[in-house]
């Protein structure tokens, strides 16, 4: 299964030892991780500015994701009704990477209708993965 993890999931995976870290680990070990350039840019900003992580840790995190995932960039982003530009870019990257799922904690994305990709919360993905084993 190809899985795109939204920035909020990756930030949680890096910042805490919990569900999102377990989800990231399971995807890297058992599935195909899809990583977007826009997501990586936002991740660098959040890790450095909001969490105050040292530059080395930010670079190591980005390097890990680039090595473990398929990095994609959405060439164009079409507006999607009900989504802001940043969320539309996330959806476009997931679609460009042929992801089967977009995993996010963003309630706007989770509640959006008519998206070209299935969106689920980290807990739902974790439960699905555990039921499959």
* Containing structural domain, residue 70: 2-132
As given in the structure block, the two tokens for residue 56 are 């080395």
pLDDT of residue 80: 79
**pLDDT by 10s per residue, the chain, length 133:** 999 999 999 999 999 989 999 999 999 999 999 999 999 999 999 999 999 999 999 999 999 999 999 999 987 667 777 788 889 999 999 999 999 999 999 999 999 988 999 999 999 999 999 998 7
Give the span between the Cα atoms of 36 and 66, in whole angstroms: 9
Q: Report the run of H or E that residue 16 belongs to, with start and end.
A: none
Residue (of 122, 12, 23, 14) closest to 63 by Cα position: 14
Q: 106-133 as b/e, with b when 16 or more CB fall inside 10 Å?
A: beebbebeebebebbbbeebbeebeeee
Which strands, in side-by-side order, build the sheet including 32-36?
Answer: 69-72, 32-36, 2-5, 101-103, 118-120
For the domain that residue 31 is a member of, what is the CATH number? Answer: 3.40.50.1010
Neighbour count for residue 67 (Cβ, 10 Å): 11
CA-based torsion, 120, 126, 128, 132: positive or negative: positive
Orientation of helix 37-45 relative to helix 55-68, angle to 10°:
160
pLDDT of residue 32: 98
Q: How many separate domains does the chain show?
A: 1
As given in the structure block, the two tokens for residue 49 are 């500015």
pLDDT of residue 58: 97
pLDDT of residue 84: 84
């Amino acid at each position: 299964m190809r899985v795109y993890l939204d920035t909020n999931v990756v930030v949680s995976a890096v910042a805490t030892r919990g569900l999102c870290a377990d989800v990231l680990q399971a995807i890297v070990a058992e599935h195909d991780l899809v990583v977007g350039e826009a997501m990586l840019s936002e991740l660098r900003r959040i890790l450095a500015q909001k969490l105050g992580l040292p530059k080395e840790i930010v670079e190591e995190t980005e390097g890990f994701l680039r090595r473990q995932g398929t990095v994609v960039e959405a060439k164009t982003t079409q507006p999607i009704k009900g989504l802001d530009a940043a969320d539309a870019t996330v959806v476009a990257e997931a679609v460009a990477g042929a992801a089967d799922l977009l995993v996010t904690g963003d309630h706007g994305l989770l509640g959006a209708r008519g998206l070209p990709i299935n969106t689920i919360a980290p807990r739902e993905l974790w439960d699905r993965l555990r039921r499959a084993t």
